[in-house]
């Protein structure tokens, strides 16, 4: 049984979350709190397995409460965030402080997709609540690169023309660890699909850009890929690439969600990259729920590219990498602090 504390100043949101959770026999709401002060008290008293924590609340907001919870009674926290630029900035700050993931504040308004939203929420709560908290502090400055202990024996020895990375829950911290370790003169483009809603991917790219040697930006439809630039797929749709000429590849943004559960889709990003770079794609799958990226990594392998997956020991959630590993699609399983070294070696 996973025990949940719901923290929100809105009675409507508390009731909505409670109703979503109540139908599952493996979940139990053990308490509610209306602000950050109550949250701190009830985390200490009830010792829940996981907390859903609103950002904006009276008396004490979610950010301040999170700081105290992580300092005194660390527990997995899902932030409940509004889908605004301000909400994105606060949520990204919360992820840096120690929150595991977030759910959208306006999920109750999306009646058309309520079943999918509920399923994703339940999956996050169950997986993270049962797993417990993995505390990994990531500094906001670049650090020495830890190179692999031994060379990777890849099944392909094709030259890398592009690096393609997929991530979800726990991904922002993992990406920060990798991207801040790359040199300014990195010789190929890097494209990333991190599961995030609109208004989040732009601020996330800006934060990474401020602390990295390489340029990091949100991908824009029609722009040309440049070496040494990291492109974050925008959350409003799916990002892919198109080869315009032999030496020119551009970004293509598709607004429609299609058959993909998660947005932006890792599978879509990787499969389009394979079409235009064939055996030159270096694929990386990081921490996250579900199996998005399994299809894309299969395409990379089938076309002669190279692949690595983050190891279970360093994953916040060992879902996406596990799917790739079990399918036999990873040339190597690598702890997070060695992934940047593997990428540098590959180019």
Q: Omega before 264 cis (within 30°)? A: yes
Q: Which residues lie closer than 8 Å to 130 by C-beta, 6 or more apart?
A: 2, 49
Active-site option among 35, 267, 292, 331: 292
Is the CB of residue 194 less than 8 Å from the CB of residue 172?
Answer: yes
CA count, 13 A, side-chain hemisphere, 174: 35
Residue-wise DSSP of 256-299: --TT-SSSS-HHHHHHHHHHHHGGGEEEEE-SBSS-TTHHHHHH
Give pairs for 245-249: CB < 8 Å, separation 24+.
Answer: 248/224, 249/162, 249/189, 249/224, 249/225, 249/276, 249/277
Is the CB of residue 194 less than 8 Å from the CB of residue 287?
Answer: no
Q: Answer yes or no: 10 catalytic.
A: no
3-class SS of residue 33: strand
Active-site option among 81, 167, 168, 212: 168
Phi, psi of 64 (to 5 degrees): -65, -40
Phi, psi of 46 (to 5 degrees): -90, -20
Active-site option among 195, 212, 311, 331: 195
Name the DSSP letter for residue 61.
-
Q: Answer yes or no: 9 catalytic.
A: no
Q: Answer yes or no: 195 catalytic.
A: yes
Instruction: Give CA–CA dist 297/268, Å, rounded.
Output: 11
Q: Looking at the annotation, which residues are catalytic? A: 168, 195, 292
């Amino acid at each position: 049984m996973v025990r949940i504390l719901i923290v929100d100043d809105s009675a409507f949101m508390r009731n909505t979350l409670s109703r979503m959770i109540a139908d599952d026999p493996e979940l139990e709401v053990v308490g509610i709190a209306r602000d950050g002060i109550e949250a701190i008290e009830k985390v200490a008293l009830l010792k829940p397995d996981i907390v859903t924590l609103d950002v904006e609340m009276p008396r004490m907001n979610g950010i301040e409460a999170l700081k105290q919870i992580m300092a005194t009674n660390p527990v997995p926290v899902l932030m409940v965030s509004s889908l605004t630029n301000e909400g994105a900035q606060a949520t990204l700050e919360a992820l840096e402080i120690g929150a595991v993931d977030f759910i959208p504040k306006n999920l109750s308004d999306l009646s058309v997709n309520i079943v999918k939203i509920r399923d994703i929420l339940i999956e996050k709560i169950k997986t993270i609540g049962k797993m417990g908290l993995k505390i990994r502090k990531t500094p906001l400055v670049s650090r020495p690169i830890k190179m692999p202990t031994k060379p990777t024996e890849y099944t392909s020895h094709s030259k890398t023309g592009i690096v393609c990375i997929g991530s979800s829950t726990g991904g922002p911290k993992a990406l920060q660890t990798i991207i801040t370790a790359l040199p300014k003169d990195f010789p190929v483009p890097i494209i990333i699909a991190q599961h995030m809603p609109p208004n989040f991917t732009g601020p996330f790219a800006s934060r990474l850009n401020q602390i990295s040697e390489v340029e990091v930006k949100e991908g824009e439809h029609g722009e040309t890929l440049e070496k040494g630039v990291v492109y974050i797929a925008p959350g409003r749709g799916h990002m892919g690439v198109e080869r315009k000429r032999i030496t020119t590849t551009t970004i293509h943004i598709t607004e429609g969600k299609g058959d993909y559960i998660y947005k932006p889709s890792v599978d879509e990003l990787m499969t389009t990259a394979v079409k235009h770079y064939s055996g030159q794609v270096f694929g990386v799958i990081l921490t996250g729920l579900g199996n998005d990226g399994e299809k894309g990594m299969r395409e990379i392998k089938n076309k002669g590219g190279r692949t690595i997956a983050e190891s279970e020991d360093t994953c916040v959630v060992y879902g996406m990498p596990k799917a790739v590993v079990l399918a036999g699609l990873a040339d190597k399983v690598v702890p997070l602090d060695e992934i940047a070294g593997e990428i540098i070696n590959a180019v």
